[in-house]
Amino acid sequence: MKSRERMERAVTFSRPDRTPIDLPTIAPGVEVYMKELQLPDRQAVADIVHKHGRRLIQHCCGAVRELLPNFIRAGIDLVQPIQPGLPGNDVEELRNEFGKEVVLFRGLDMQQQMRNDSPQKITEFYKRLFERFGDGGLIMNVWAMPDIPLKNMLAFRAAYMN
């Protein structure tokens, strides 16, 4: 079976709402790596996925800013996770730069913000974030670690409920 036929078969047997493809975190020089080695394959997969009315999810840990133009060119629909606190991973800046060309999947900042900020700061931040993405383009991954103050999780909830 040819590789394109294998991809076609994998898409038709995958979950109907998404088709994930993993790309490991890569060292500096990723731009060349993406353009020469990954982009053509990603485009081929995206074509097949979109032909079947599905969305293509790209998992990519780390700072993703430099990869987004190639992901968009390849036809990736959603990139996850956009880890808070890493250089180039500010979702508001990414939205300003890339618009709604790709959906961003972001988690709560459990390492800094949810642990250290005041409930008021948390509510204000997420209210602004939800207003900024009120027309779509952001998926929030919400989970809590046991040592996150309950008042901070409730502050996030308050922002979400408004």
What domains does the chain contain, in order, with CATH numbers? 3-107 (3.20.20.70), 110-135+144-162 (no CATH)
pLDDT value of residue 28: 57
Q: Is the pLDDT score of 3 beyond 80?
A: no
The residue length of the chain stands at 162
Tell me the H-state helices in the chain. 3-13, 30-33, 39-51, 68-74, 91-98, 113-116, 119-132, 150-161
pLDDT value of residue 15: 46
User: What would the pLDDT profile of 73-86 be if each residue is shown by its tens digit?
Assistant: 999 999 998 989 88
What is the pTM (predicted TM-score) of this model? 0.76
pLDDT value of residue 18: 44
Q: Is the pLDDT score of 6 beyond 90?
A: no
User: What would the pLDDT profile of 131-149 be if each residue is shown by its tens digit?
Assistant: 999 999 999 988 888 899 9
- Cα angle at 108 between 104 and 109, to 5 degrees? 110
